[in-house]
Structure 1
Amino acid sequence: MTTDERSSSFRRFLHRLTASEEELDAQRLQRGVTECGAVPAQQCRRGQVVSVSGRLRTVAYTPRTNLPTLEADLYDGSDVVTLVWLGRRHIAGIEPGRQLTAKGRIALRDDRKVIYNPFYELEAPR
């Protein structure tokens, strides 16, 4: 092992000791994004068709008179993308803490990234 490799390894070790649990979780999520070939949410731009992967932070049913919606915030360690299913009250498996990969076109709503009616794949619970 070279001196540079030892130095780099030592820096990573020190970072793991001093980083907060949130920072370490974000890094784990970002590694998962890279491994599955998804686009980091931070890099997604309006109009792009993307695949995003991460963990659902919140899931909320929004009753509206004309069109109910189910909304879920997907966090991948870099940013949040809100997944919106129009006309749905509940979807089995869509719950906070669940890992999934979603595909669709990025839109902006109130300066937040949104994918309407995404295609999604649930990951096995860990």
Structure 2
Amino acid sequence: MGKSPGFMSRMVKKLTSDVSDLDAADLSAEVERSGCQKASECSGTGEAITVKGRLRSVEICPRDSVATLEAELFDGTDGVTLVWMGRRRIPGIEPGRTLRASGRVAVRDGRKVIYNPYYELQRAP
């Protein structure tokens, strides 16, 4: 039987850790509880995945006359770029919003990307 950290060691960790590290750990634990895959564990191109996380950034990227809406989803372990082709805006897709996204992962410029993902906006806790 493994020992779980005691109250004092958890408290010391919370007091001495960076806020962004604690937020990433909480987000990663929430993703694990939801049954979604961690972005850091998604490896294969073409692999069908479902990820959950918080949008870090959202931007319109005009590429060769076709606008795309790109959002970086962070799940506490790694990021995945979500790309909607031909879209300039999607209601509810904004930084800080939590969502669940599904699709096939690709790699573009060394980063994980899901093109035209199916997504579900999540309620704020």
| TM-score scaled by length of structure 2 | 0.91
Unaligned regions of 5+ residues in structure 2, if any? none
CA separation of 1:61 and 1:15: change in aligned 2, threshold 3 A: same
Tell me the distance in 1 between the aligned counterparts of 2:50 and 2:63. 28
Alpha-carbon deviation of 1:10? 2.7
Q: How does 1:22-101 map to 2 (within 5 A)?
A: 22-45=20-43, 46-101=45-100
Q: Report the residue type matching 1:89 in the other structure.
A: R
Q: How many residues align?
A: 123
Moved more, 104-113 or 8-17: 8-17
Tell me the distance in 2 between the aligned counterparts of 1:48 and 1:25. 28
Q: Structure 1 segments of 4 or more deviating over 4 A?
A: 4-7
2:106 is aligned to 107
Alpha-carbon deviation of 1:50? 0.6
CA RMSD of aligned residues (A): 1.6
Unaligned regions of 5+ residues in structure 1, if any? none
1:17 is aligned to 15
Alpha-carbon deviation of 1:13? 2.0
Moved more, 95-104 or 65-74: 65-74
Tell me the distance in 2 between the aligned counterparts of 1:62 and 1:35. 33
Radius of gyration: which is bigger?
1
CA separation of 1:50 and 1:14: change in aligned 2, threshold 3 A: same
